[in-house]
Amino acid sequence: MAAFTEKHALLIEGTHTAVTKLLTVVLDTNGNKGLCHKVEDIFDSVTDLNKKQNKLSKNFWTLVAFLAGTGLIGGGTFGLVELLKR
């Protein structure tokens, strides 16, 4: 078995430094948000945007259903077709 040399110690120290830097990027340190927290923030903003879009879509289809139910869409379309025929 090979003896533990100074070269091995430098290799271990370099590896430890690289792992520490990776952990600093992935996780948060010193009050800076790491990659994991940034991805979580983006996911939260996309979720909020999706909720807003779903609410807008629901309101749109409710409006379309109301206008169709009152006859405004059908009557308006029929009237427009009649005007264009002339």
Note whether residue 85 is domain-resident. Answer: yes
Note whether residue 10 is domain-resident. Answer: no
In the chain, the N- to C-terminal Cα span, in Å, equals 100
Note whether residue 19 is domain-resident. Answer: no
Note whether residue 35 is domain-resident. Answer: no
Its domain, for residue 74, covers: 62-86
Q: How many domains does the chain have?
A: 1
Note whether residue 74 is domain-resident. Answer: yes
**Lowest pLDDT segment from 29-33, 61-65, 68-72:** 29-33
pTM comes to: 0.47
Residues 13-62 have pLDDT tens digits of 889 888 888 888 887 777 777 888 888 889 999 999 999 999 999 999 99
Which of helix, strand or coil describes residue 29?
A: strand
